[in-house]
């Protein structure tokens, strides 16, 4: 798809999105179930509209990722414009490094790529893909604009080194974490096990936490790289409570962004899989009954 002209690639992406929606029943069911949990006020048609949008967004992500080799500093403005860049610039000027808080939102692979082409390369934490050949290809694409990847396992040392030099590190925190690596913080009013890594590093280094996502703007026919104001660090003397407070604030910012454009977030992921002790599995078969059909109610 990377060899195709952008208009043709866009058509292919829409075809992939259509096929994904109609053929990926499992993912569609998870998305619909998540929407029933998080946005119970939606009716069946509202949920279907968002789920269709989710697959359209994934198709757009695929197109943009395949087109990365064609995107450079001279033409990036044709695809991506800044929105709230002053929030990132202000944080960077503090000199303690920036933790770029982001999510699986919009064309998320293009997000740091564009930021680097605009003159702000960063390092970002990734989990290696199981297939080493695919992992190598994806990382070659990711780093073409000057960014560097940090493998999630044993990443702390490199993150601290980068922040000490005043650099920026991108971290995604919108996926389910295992209980031993996370804390429960509300996300759409549901306790969501969220990684403690970002909050812990922020407390240790004083680095600014700046939320940023790539938003597709249908009116502009471009992506907006939106930066929100820095997330305030917690003042609690209790470190564990401070971590919970910061993580909760981060989730609140991401939730607000998802509510603005719910069709651009990755609802096909089991975000609330890990549960507090004693709580039932929200994705157990009996809880999922009705999620694939119309007129279902919140479990």
Mean pLDDT (10-residue bins), the chain, 299 residues: 60 73 88 97 97 95 92 97 98 97 97 98 93 92 96 93 97 96 97 97 97 97 98 89 97 98 98 96 87 43
pLDDT at 14: 76
pLDDT at 294: 42
pLDDT at 250: 98
pLDDT at 111: 97
Going by C-alpha positions, the residue among 2, 38, 14, 8 that lies closest to residue 299 is: 38
Helix (H) or strand (E) holding 12: helix 6-23
In a domain, 42, yes or no: no
pLDDT at 4: 54
Q: What angle do CA 57, 227, 225 make, to 5 degrees?
A: 40
In a domain, 135, yes or no: yes
In a domain, 78, yes or no: yes
In a domain, 211, yes or no: yes
81 backbone dihedrals φ, ψ, rounded to 5°? -125, 150
In a domain, 269, yes or no: yes
Going by C-alpha positions, the residue among 15, 12, 21, 14 that lies closest to residue 52 is: 21
Q: How many domains does the chain have?
A: 1
pLDDT at 16: 74
Domain around 147: 74-276
Is the model's pTM score more than 0.85?
A: yes
In a domain, 9, yes or no: no
In a domain, 271, yes or no: yes
pLDDT at 277: 94
pLDDT at 287: 87
In a domain, 13, yes or no: no
């Amino acid at each position: 798809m990377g060899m195709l002209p952008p208009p043709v690639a866009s058509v292919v992406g829409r075809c992939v999105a259509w096929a994904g929606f109609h053929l990926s029943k499992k993912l569609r069911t998870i998305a619909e179930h998540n929407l029933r949990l998080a946005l119970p006020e939606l009716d069946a048609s509202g949920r279907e509209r968002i789920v269709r949008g989710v697959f359209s967004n994934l198709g757009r992500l695929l197109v943009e990722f395949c087109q990365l080799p064609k995107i450079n500093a001279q033409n990036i403005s044709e695809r991506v414009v800044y929105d709230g860049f002053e929030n990132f610039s202000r944080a960077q000027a503090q000199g303690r490094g920036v933790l770029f808080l982001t999510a699986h939102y919009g064309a998320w692979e293009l997000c740091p790529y564009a930021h680097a082409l605009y003159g702000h390369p960063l390092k970002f934490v990734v989990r290696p893909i199981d297939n080493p050949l695919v992992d190598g290809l994806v990382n070659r694409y990711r780093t073409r604009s000057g960014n560097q990847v940090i493998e999630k396992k044993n990443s702390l040392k490199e993150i601290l080194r980068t922040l000490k030099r005043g650099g920026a590190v991108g971290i995604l925190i919108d996926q389910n974490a295992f209980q031993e690596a996370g804390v429960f913080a509300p996300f759409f009013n549901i306790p969501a096990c969220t990684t403690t890594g970002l909050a812990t590093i922020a407390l240790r280094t004083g680095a600014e936490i700046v939320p940023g996502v790539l938003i597709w703007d249908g009116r502009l026919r471009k992506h907006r790289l939106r930066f929100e104001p820095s997330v305030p660090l917690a003042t609690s003397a209790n470190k564990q409570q401070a971590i919970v407070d910061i993580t909760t604030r981060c989730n609140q910012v991401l939730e607000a962004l998802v509510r603005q454009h719910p069709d651009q977030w990755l609802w096909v992921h089991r975000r609330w899989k890990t549960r507090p002790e004693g709580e039932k599995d929200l994705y157990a078969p009996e809880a999922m009954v009705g999620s694939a059909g119309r007129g279902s109610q919140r479990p």
